[in-house]
Structure 1
Amino acid sequence: MARFTAESTGEQVCQDLSSQIKGSKLLITGVTPGSIGGTAAIHISKYEPALLVLAGRNMQTLQELDETIKSETPSAPTRLLLLDLSSQESVLKAAKEVNSYPETIDIIINSAGVMASPYTLTKDGLELQFGTNHIGHFLFTNIVLEGFLQRAASSIRVVNVSSLGHKRGPVRFDDPGFEDGKCYDKWQAYGQSKTANMLYSVSLAEKLGDKGVQSFSLYPGRILTGIVKHLSTEDFLKAGWKHTDGSINNSPSLAWRTPTQGAARLIVSAYDPTIANRNGSYMVNNEVNNSEAAEYALDPQNAERLWSLSEDLVGQKFFS
C-alpha cells in the first residue's frame, strides 16, 4: 500500500485506492461545489463506486454537483438526498430514505459543517454549530447504522471531518448552548463541535467495533472553501490568514492546502485498509496521528458523556 503525504491529491489517492473504491457504496454530506466533500465526490465518482449518495440541504446545489460529475463520468451511479442537518425532522426523513434503499451503504463521510457563525439556533433550539456539525450527524448516522445492523451487513466505515480547531475548546457538557448565547464565543463553539466529531468516532469504535463498524475523525488541513463565509476581514487579519491589503498570507507556517488535498484526506480515511486496526483514531496528513489530538478529544469518558448528552438532545437511545 502506497504511503500518502500531506501534499497528496484526491486524484493520486484514488488511483492508489482504486481497488477499494470500485464497487463501494458511499454517502457524503456537505457536497457543495468547491467544498472538500464535493471535491472528494468528484474524484471518487471516476473510480467505479457502485453507489454515490450526495447529501445536502439544497437540491439545486446537489444537482449542480451531480451535473459536474456526470459531465466527466456520465455513468457515475449518483443519488441525491435532501438532508438539512440543522433540522432533526429533516434528518429523520433522510435517514429513513437511506434505510429504504435496496443497497446497504459501506461508507459514510460526514463532511458538512458550519464554522464560526454568529449565535444562531437550529430548528430544534440547539446552538447552530453544535446542532449541525455534531447532533445532526449523530442522529442521521446512528439511524443509518441501525438499518445496517438489521441487515446484517459485513462492514461500514464512518468518517467524521473534524479540525485543528478542536483545540479551541472541549465539549461544554453542562452548557453546550453557552447560556443561551449570553456567553457565546463563535470559536469556542466551533471547537466544541469539532471535538464532538472526534469523540463520536471514539464512541462508534467502542460501541460497534465488534459489529463491523469502523470510524475515524480527521483534520482536512487549512483550506479556503465556503466554510469561511462567516469570517470577517478582521477575523482573517487576527488569525494571520490575510495581509492588511487583503491578500492571502502564504507563509509556509500556515500550510495552506487545496480542496483536492483536503479531499484526499477524506478519501484515505474512508478507504485505506491499513488503518483498520486503529479504529476510533484521529487522522492528520493522511495517517493516524492521535498525538496531534487534544487529550480531551479522544478521552473515552468524555465520549460516553457526549453520547448520553446527544441521546438526550435527540430524544432517542442507540445501541444500548
Structure 2
Amino acid sequence: SVLITGVTLGSVGGEAALQLSRHAPALLVLAGRNLETLQATENAIKAETPDANTRLLIIDLSSQESVRRAAAEVNNYPERLDHLINNAGIMAAPYSTTPEGVELQFGINHIGHFLFTNLLLEKIMSGESKVRVVNVSSAGHKRGPVRFGDVNFENGKCYDKWQAYGQSKTANMLFSVSLAEKAGNKGVESFSLYPGRRETGIGRHLKPEEWVKAGIINDDPKLNWRTASQGAATLIVAAYDPSNSDKNGSYMVNNQVNNDEAVEYALDPKNAERLWKLSEEIVGQKF
C-alpha cells in the first residue's frame, strides 16, 4: 500500500499517483486538503485503471489538528502501509502563519509531514518487510539552511520567501536523515529527492521574472524544465528501488542517489537532530 500527499492532476505527485496505479498497489491513498482535487485525480486513475483500489484522505498540512485527524483515520485502516510519499508543498508564498503560529512554508512543507509521518510510523513499521518514507525536497534547499533560532523570520519582519522555501526544503532532507538514523534498524528507509525543475501549480502566484530571478528557469522558458512524468520517476525510484537500501537517508536527483548535489548543512546529522527536537517542540509531542 502507498500513500501520497499532494496529488493534483498535472503535478509531479498527481503523475506519480497515475504511474503507481498502473502497477496495482494493494491500496493507493490520495491525500490532500481539497476533495474535488482528489476526486479529479481518482477519476483520471479509474479512467485508465478501473480496478485500482484508491482511497481519498482529507489532510490540511498547515493545521496540526487536521494532520492528527488524518493520521488517526489512516491508523484505523485494516491495510498496512508500506510506502509514504510526502510530496505536498507550497513555494515562495507571501508571509503567513499556520493556525499554530508557524511560518507557512515551514509549517506545511516540513512540520505537517513531520507530525503525520511520526503518527503513522508504528503502523508503517508493523510488518515484516522494509518500508519507505520519501520526502520531496528541491534544489531550492540551497537557498537557505534551517534558521534554528528564528524559523519565523522575526514574525515576518525579515521574511524572504525564497530563504523560507529553502529552509523548508532543507528540513525535508534533514527529516530523511533523522528517519534513517532513528528507524533504520526497524526496517524504515527514507530518501529525500529533487524531482527537477518543472512547471506545476506550486508556483502559481509567481510572475515569470521571479522564476528567472530565482534561477528556477532561464530567460528562455523552453530551457531546463522537466515534465511531471520525469519528475514522478524520481519519486517512484526513491519509494521502490531496492538497490538504494544501503544509502538510507540520502538525497536523490535524476533517479539516483546524488549526495554531492546537496549542500552540506542539509545532510548534517547534527542539524537533523536539532531539527527533530525543534519539530517535537512545535508539535508538542516527543517521538
TM-score after normalising by structure 2: 0.97
Give the 3-state SS of the residue equivalent to 1:28 in structure 2: strand
Query: What secondary structure does 1:79 align onto?
Result: strand
> Does 1:257 find its partner at 2:223?
no
Tell whether 2:137 aligns with 1:162.
Answer: yes
Counterpart check, 1:208 vs 2:183? yes
- The one of 145, 165, 175 aligned to 1:190: 165
The answer to whether structure 1 residue 171 and structure 2 residue 140 are counterparts is: no
Rounded Cα–Cα distance in structure 2 between residues aligned with 1:192 and 1:281: 18
Distance 1:70 1:219, change over 3 A: same
Separation in 1 of the partners of 2:253 and 2:24? 27
The alignment-based identity, stated in percent, is: 68
Candidates 33, 39, 42, aligned match of 1:66: 42
1:83 is aligned to 59
Q: Assess if the C-alpha contact under 8 Å between 1:85 and 1:136 holds in 2.
A: yes
Q: How does 1:15-30 map to 2 (within 5 A)?
A: 25-30=1-6
> Residue type matched to 1:45 in 2?
S
The one-character-per-residue Cα deviations of 1:79-99 (angstroms, maximum 9, x if unpaired) are 000010000000000001111
Residue identity in the other structure for 2:222: N
Question: Residue in 1 aligned with 2:247?
Answer: 278
CA distance, structure 1, for counterparts of residue 12 and residue 108 of structure 2? 17
Residues 50-59 or 151-160, more deviating: 151-160
> Which residue in 1 is equivalent to 2:8?
32
Structure 2 residue 287 is matched with structure 1 residue 315 = no
SS of 2:210's partner is: helix
* Alignment partner, residue 256 of structure 2: 287
Q: 2:184, 2:128 → 1: CA distance?
A: 13
Partners in 2 of 1:286 and 1:152 — Cα distance? 27
Larger radius of gyration: 1
Q: Partner residue of 1:14? A: none
Aligned AA (1:232): K
Aligned residues: 286
- How far residue 50 of structure 1 moved from its aligned partner, in angstroms, is 0.6
CA contact (8 A) 2:136 2:172 kept: yes
**Partners of 1:60 and 1:310 in 2: how far apart?**
31
CA contact (8 A) 1:52 1:77 kept: yes
Counterpart code for 1:47: H
2:79 aligned to which of 85, 90, 103: 103
1:268-291: per-residue Cα shift (whole Å, max 9, x none)? 101101001100000011111111
Q: Contact conserved, 2:80 with 2:127, CA < 8 A, in 1?
A: no
Is the 1:115–1:230 contact (alpha carbons within 8 Å) kept by the matching residues of 2? no
Cα separation, 2, equivalents of 1:187 and 1:279? 28
1:137 to 104, 113, 127: 113
Q: Distance in 1 between matches of 2:280 and 2:123?
A: 18
What amino acid is the match of 2:148?
A: F
C-alpha distance after superposition, 1:200-235 (max 9, x if no partner): 000000000000100000010000000111212331
Amino acid at match of 2:221: N
Matching residue's letter, 1:29: T
Q: Equivalents in 2 of 1:236, 1:46: separation in Å? A: 34
- Please report how far the alpha carbon of residue 239 of structure 1 lies from its aligned counterpart in structure 2 after TM superposition: 3.8
Amino acid at match of 1:249: P
Higher RCO (C-alpha 8 Å, min separation 6): 1
The residue that corresponds to 1:7 in the other structure is none
TM-score by length of 1: 0.87
Task: Kindly state the Cα deviation for residue 237 of structure 1 after the two structures are TM-superposed.
Answer: 4.0
Where does the alignment leave 5 or more consecutive residues of structure 1 unmatched? 1-24
Deviation at 1:152, TM superposition (A): 4.8
**The one of 255, 268, 273 aligned to 1:299:** 268
1:201 & 1:110 partners in 2: Cα distance? Answer: 11
Q: Distance in 1 between matches of 2:214 and 2:188?
A: 38
Give the Å deviation of 1:153.
Answer: 4.5
Contact map agreement 2:81 2:123 (CA 8 A) in 1 = no
Per the TM alignment, residue 236 of structure 1 is displaced from its structure 2 partner at its CA by: 2.8
Give the match's secondary structure for 1:105: coil
Distance in 2 between residues matched to 1:311 and 1:153, nearest whole Å: 28
- Mind listing any 5+ residue stretches in structure 2 that lack a counterpart? none
Aligned-residue offset at 1:242: 5.9
Q: Deviations over 1:22-45 (max 9, x none)?
A: xxx100000011110010000110
